[in-house]
Amino acid sequence: MKQFFPIKRSTSGFLIGAFGVMAAMVSPQVLAQDAATRLLEEQVRTLEQQLQSIRGELDKVKTDTAKDAQKVRELEQSTVSFGDMAPKSKHMVFFRGGFAHNDNKRNGVSIQSAVAPVGAQDRAGRDAWYVGAGFDFNLTDDVWGMMSGTSVFAELMFEYKQFSNSVLGNALANEPTQLAGGALNPRKVTVSQFTLTAAPKIKFMEGSRFRPWVIPAGLALHVISPPSESITVLQPGVMFGVGADYNVWKEIFIGADARYQLAGGKLDGVNVSGLTVGGYVGIGF
């Protein structure tokens, strides 16, 4: 027994030394692994924070997108509502009135006249008032495919102008006629003019409540009263016009226009050329 004891102590020392060496070798590896683990955990936490930040940005983008979509829907709804309020009619009947001014004063067979030089020989002034009516018939909303947003209408219109109802007449308008030897007692003569026109009317801004328009040229027929000195009453001419109308409610429109009537020369000494400026009320149908 005594001879084995030294061997046993020696073995124990060896084992203890071996464990010490192994521990010394293992400890740096463990420490390195712990450092790597902590670094990895730190990276994971940083990544999680970045992911949370990205989620927050995505949520914000989703919220902004939803708000934008809501605004688009509201805009579309308002546009639809505006479209619902816009008139659905294509044609219009309108009633006009306003001020008229002729280029020249009016004479005639029963007022100032070389045919009947006896009597007052008075003339009407150049200013007048007018009333009239007409209708627009829609032909196309895009100039037959050549210009979008531009409509072409066929307009038929008539108007009555009165220059005076108290012009003192000549011998032919005397009570009794002075040609038969009567005393000087001139009648009061009404000087007026009737105009009938047919013209193309071009309206812009199709789909809008406000629509300006232009008449490039149209045919006009004028009837004068009293007749010319040679008893002629009918004079043709050309009409030009500009204006605009506005849809105020449902199928009700208001508008304003200016037109110029250019006569084809004088009607036996009577010039019927002149302009009108006024307003109108229209009803769509």
pLDDT at 38 over 50: yes
Residue 145 to residue 47: CA distance in whole angstroms? 61
**Residue 263 parent element (H or E):** strand 252-263
pLDDT, position 86:
56
Q: What would the DSSP string read from start to end of 74-137? A: HHHHHHHHHHHHS-----EEEEEEEEEEESS-B--TTSS-SSS-SB----B-SEEEEEEEEEEE
54-98 pLDDT, tens digit each: 888 888 887 877 777 777 677 666 544 444 455 678 999 999 999
Name beta bridge partners: 124.
106
Q: Give the lowest-confidence range in 12-16, 73-77, 114-118.
A: 12-16
Highest mean pLDDT among 4-8, 108-112, 161-165, 227-231: 161-165
Residue 95 to residue 132: CA distance in whole angstroms? 6
Is residue 140 within 8 A of residue 107, CB to CB? The reply is: no
pLDDT, position 64:
78
pLDDT at 110 over 80: yes
Average pLDDT taken over every residue of the chain:
84
Percent of the chain with pLDDT over 70: 80
pLDDT, position 20:
61
Residue 92 to residue 265: CA distance in whole angstroms? 33
pLDDT, position 5:
45
234-281 pLDDT, tens digit each: 999 999 999 999 999 999 999 999 999 999 878 788 899 999 999 999
